[in-house]
């Protein structure tokens, strides 16, 4: 994070933008490229996308839940990180939270002793897959009359964790082995932060916390974002936080990044005290980080805030019987438009009422993984031969500098321009209109935010150049 000083010229701000770099956690997140998402919960059984809040715990009734099957499907497809839903908007907790009666503990599933989050985390760890947890800020169960969401309560000083009668953490809190926080929280935020605390202290390392911005409640609950971020960064300092903090929503749910996708953005707010990243531009705007955006007079600081591209392999986030996975060419197009444009692809699968990812989704995931491996793994890249696509990389640990580039191929003894583009970032993929045989490739950086910007260029051989696949 670099503050913008009031006296900075436009050139000064550009020079500062060139110095902004990712944290190690952001770098690890970006390099993983393919993240999985698993939406599973009462909606799986009711056929709804957002739920109502009027569900009952016994609605959640998987017959053969096997989180190892989930992990195996993602591992086989080469996904290095998976985010699981711990609570979606309808408010049902898939873990036995102390702060609600609306959870797996109240269901007949495993006689109330089940914990989907535990099974999920353990299964991913067994496969060396990084773990992310989704805890919906919006909560339709709590938005019911007489409950805590948007109930107008005033913030008060709250100790987190807030111990409950017979709390098994009492000794660890008393001897300081579990950290405590004193925070100003209203009723709902007190519940939410205590649930974050449970998820971030009882399940081992968590590499990503997913704070969905969607709100189907029609109510305005103030969110204590700064307190949430303080708790998350204290309990899991190596986690990235989706939305408001370390990775951002790309702006659509189709897995498509911008042609020019900047990871360095200008923000408003006091850089000394603001944990929240308030972008100068709306999160869905076409341009978030160009020189024009950097020159916005409201901008007070610059930070690394890269794009995560969420999308689902089926239509919608949750399973229904009729849903079939997207075709492989739709998924490869998505890969090219996300990972191939400096984003991370966060691809959702939808387990069914058994608690298993249906075989057609597993197979398609595997096909996508095989395609990525054979087309874009390092071993699949060449510096000469018949190529169908160009792959570029910038060393983002040093920042994102390149604003324009041209790629040439040495074709029968003379350099021909094959492709041009704007940003590169972690990875940029450009599919050629038709394959071409080159003896060599070169990239020319034609505009950059600092001297010495360099990129790597390679070609991919395996491509049918029919647009997507
Ligand atoms: C959208 C939110 O506004 C955004 O912050 C992010 O959480 C995103 O969802 C996740 O997909 S709302 C959605 C209905 C477009």
Q: Which residues, judged by CB distance below 6 Å to any ligand atom, belong to the binding site of ligand 1? A: 212-214, 243, 249, 253, 310
Ligand 1, residue 310: give the atom nearest the CA. Answer: 11
Rounded to a whole number, what is the distance in angstroms from the first to the last CA of the chain? Answer: 38
| Model confidence band, residue 354 (pLDDT cutoffs 50, 70, 90) | very high
In the reported structure, the alpha carbon of residue 250 is separated from the centroid of ligand 1 by a whole-number distance in angstroms of 9
Pick from 187, 143, 147, 188: which is nearest to 51 by CA? 143
Task: Tell me, rounded to whole angstroms, the distance of Cα 264 from its chain centroid.
Answer: 17
Question: Whose Cα sits closest to atom 1 in ligand 1?
Answer: 214
d(C-alpha 48, C-alpha 35), whole Å: 24
Average pLDDT over every residue of 203-207: 98
Q: Could you tell me which residues come within 8 angstroms of residue 296 by beta carbon, excluding any fewer than 6 positions away?
A: 266, 280, 281
CA of 254 to the centre of ligand 1 (A): 11
93: which DSSP letter? Answer: B
Task: Classify residue 69 as exposed, middle or buried by CB count within 10 Å of its CB (0-12, 13-18, 19+).
Answer: middle
Atom of ligand 1 nearest to the CA of 214: 12
Atom of ligand 1 nearest to the CA of 215: 12
Q: 115 CA to middle of ligand 1, Å?
A: 27
- Mean pLDDT throughout 270-275? 93
Residue 7: count of CB within 10 angstroms of its CB: 6
Q: Residue 241 Cα, ligand 1 centroid: separation in angstroms? A: 14
Torsion sign (Cα): 57, 58, 59, 60: positive
* CA atoms in the 13 A half-sphere facing the CB of 227: 25
Phi, psi (rounded to 5 degrees) for 207: -95, -15
**Res 107: pLDDT:** 98
Give which of 417, 315, 411, 425 is closest to 361, Cα–Cα.
315
Q: Which of 136, 212, 246, 288 to mutate to test the pocket of ligand 1 (most atoms within 8 A of CB)?
A: 212
Q: How far apart are the CA of 219 and the centre of ligand 1, in A?
A: 16
Say if residues 282 and 239 touch (Cβ distance below 8 Å). no
pLDDT digits 0-9 by tens, 14-41: 999 999 999 999 999 999 999 999 999 9
In the predicted structure, residue 356 carries a pLDDT above the cut 60: yes
pLDDT at 465: 62
- Residue labelled with tokens 């009462």: 42
The pLDDT mean for the chain works out to 97
pLDDT by residue (tens digit) across 209-226? 999 999 999 999 999 999
pLDDT > 90? residue 463: no
Q: Write down the pLDDT at residue 464.
A: 66
Q: Widest CA span of the chain, in angstroms?
A: 80
Please, are residues 289 and 250 in contact by the beta-carbon 8 Å criterion? Answer: no
Helix (H, G, I), strand (E, B) or coil at 96: coil
In a mutational test of the pocket of ligand 1, which residue from 35, 89, 214 has the highest number of ligand atoms less than 8 Å from its CB? 214
For the sheet with 402-411, list strands across it: 414-421, 402-411, 440-448
How many Å apart are CA 411 and CA 445, to the nearest integer? Answer: 20
C-alpha of residue 120 to centroid of ligand 1, in Å: 23
Substitution candidate for ligand 1 out of 137, 253, 318, 338 with most atoms within 8 A of CB: 253
pLDDT tier at 468 (50, 70, 90 boundaries)? Answer: very low
| pLDDT score of 320 | 98
269 has pLDDT over 90: yes
User: Cα-atom radius of gyration of the chain, to the nearest Å?
Assistant: 23
* CA–CA separation, 311 and 331 (whole Å): 10
| Distance between Cα 212 and ligand 1 center (Å) | 6
Higher pLDDT, residue 468 or 182: 182
Spacing, Cα 252 to ligand 1 middle (Å): 8
- Read off the pLDDT band of 469 (50, 70, 90): very low
Task: Report residue 355 as tokens.
Answer: 């608690």
Q: Rounded mean pLDDT of 264-284?
A: 96
pLDDT for res 438:
98
* C-alpha 249 – ligand 1 centre gap (Å): 7
Residue 262, C-beta contacts closer than 8 angstroms, at least 6 positions apart: 288, 289, 290, 400, 423, 425
275 CA to centre of ligand 1 in angstroms: 20
Q: Which of 249, 255, 308, 316 to mutate to test the pocket of ligand 1 (most atoms within 8 A of CB)?
A: 249
pTM: 0.97
Q: Whose CA is nearest to atom 5 of ligand 1?
A: 213
User: Nearest C-alpha to atom 11 of ligand 1 is from which residue?
Assistant: 253
348 beta partners: 37, 312
The pLDDT, as a whole number, for residue 165 is 98
* pLDDT-derived band at 462, boundaries 50, 70, 90: confident
What integer is the mean pLDDT of 401-419?
98
Q: By alpha-carbon position, which residue is closest to atom 12 of ligand 1? A: 214
Ligand 1 centroid, distance to 192 Cα (angstroms): 19
Span from the CA of 137 to the centroid of ligand 1 (angstroms): 12
Residue 13 and residue 284: Cα distance in Å, rounded?
A: 23
**413-427 pLDDT tens trace:** 999 999 999 999 999
Give the residue whose CA is nearest to atom 6 of ligand 1: 213
Instruction: Count Cβ neighbours within 10 Å for each residue of 189-212 and write b for 16 or more, e otherwise.
Output: bbbbbbbbbbbbbebeebbbbbbb
User: Which atom of ligand 1 is closest in space to residue 242's alpha carbon?
Assistant: 7
pLDDT of 115 strictly over 50: yes
- Identify whether the C-beta of residue 44 lies closer than 8 Å to the C-beta of residue 353: yes
pLDDT digits (tens, 9 = 90+) for 222-260: 999 999 999 999 999 999 999 999 999 999 999 999 999
Which protein residue's CA is at the shortest distance from atom 9 of ligand 1?
Answer: 214
State the average pLDDT over residues 73-102: 98
> Quick one: angle between helices 116-126 and 67-76, nearest 10?
30
Q: What percent of the chain has pLDDT over 90?
A: 98
How many angstroms separate the alpha carbon of residue 65 from the centre of ligand 1? 28
């Amino acid at each position: 994070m670099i503050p913008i000083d009031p006296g900075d010229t436009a050139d000064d701000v550009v020079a500062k933008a060139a110095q902004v770099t990712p944290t190690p956690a952001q770098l690890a997140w970006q390099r993983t490229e393919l993240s999985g998402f698993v939406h599973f919960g009462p909606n799986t059984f009711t056929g709804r996308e957002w739920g109502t809040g009027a569900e009952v715990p016994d609605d959640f009734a998987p017959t053969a839940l096997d989180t190892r099957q989930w992990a195996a499907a993602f591992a086989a497809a080469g996904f290095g990180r998976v985010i699981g839903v711990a609570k979606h908007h309808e408010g049902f907790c898939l873990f036995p939270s102390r702060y609600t009666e609306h959870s797996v503990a109240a269901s007949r599933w495993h006689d109330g002793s089940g914990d989907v989050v535990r099974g999920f985390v353990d299964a991913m760890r067994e496969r060396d897959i990084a773990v992310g947890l989704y805890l919906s800020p919006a909560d339709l169960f709590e938005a019911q009359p007489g409950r805590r969401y948007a109930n107008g309560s005033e913030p008060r000083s709250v100790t987190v964790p807030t111990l409950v009668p017979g709390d098994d953490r009492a000794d660890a809190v008393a001897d300081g082995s579990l950290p405590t926080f004193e925070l100003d929280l209203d009723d709902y935020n007190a519940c939410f932060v205590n649930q974050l605390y449970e998820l971030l202290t009882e399940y081992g390392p968590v590499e990503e916390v997913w704070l969905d911005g969607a709100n189907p409640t029609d109510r305005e609950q103030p969110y204590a974002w700064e307190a949430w971020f303080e708790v998350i960064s204290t309990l899991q300092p190596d986690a990235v936080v989706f939305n408001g903090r370390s990775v951002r929503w790309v702006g659509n749910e189709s897995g498509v990044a911008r042609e020019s996708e900047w990871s360095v953005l200008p923000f408003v707010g006091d850089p000394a005290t603001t944990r929240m990243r308030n972008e100068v531009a709306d999160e869905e705007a076409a341009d978030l980080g160009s020189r024009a955006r950097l020159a916005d007079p409201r901008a007070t600081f610059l930070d690394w805030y890269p794009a995560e591209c969420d999308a689902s392999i089926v239509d919608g986030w949750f399973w229904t019987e009729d849903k079939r996975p997207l075709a492989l060419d739709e998924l490869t197009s998505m890969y090219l438009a996300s990972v191939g444009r400096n984003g991370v692809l966060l691809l959702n699968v939808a387990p069914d009422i058994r608690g298993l990812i249906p075989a057609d989704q597993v197979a398609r995931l595997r096909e996508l993984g095989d395609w990525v491996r054979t087309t874009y793994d390092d071993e699949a890249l060449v510096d000469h031969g018949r190529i169908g696509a160009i792959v570029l990389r910038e060393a983002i640990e040093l920042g994102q500098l390149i604003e324009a580039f041209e790629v040439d191929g040495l074709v029968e003894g003379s350099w021909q321009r094959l492709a041009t583009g704007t940003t590169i970032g972690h990875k940029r993929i450009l599919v050629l209109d038709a394959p071409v045989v080159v003896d060599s490739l070169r990239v020319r950086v034609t505009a950059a935010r600092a001297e010495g910007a360099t990129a790597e260029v390679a070609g991919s051989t395996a491509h049918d150049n029919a647009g997507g696949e």
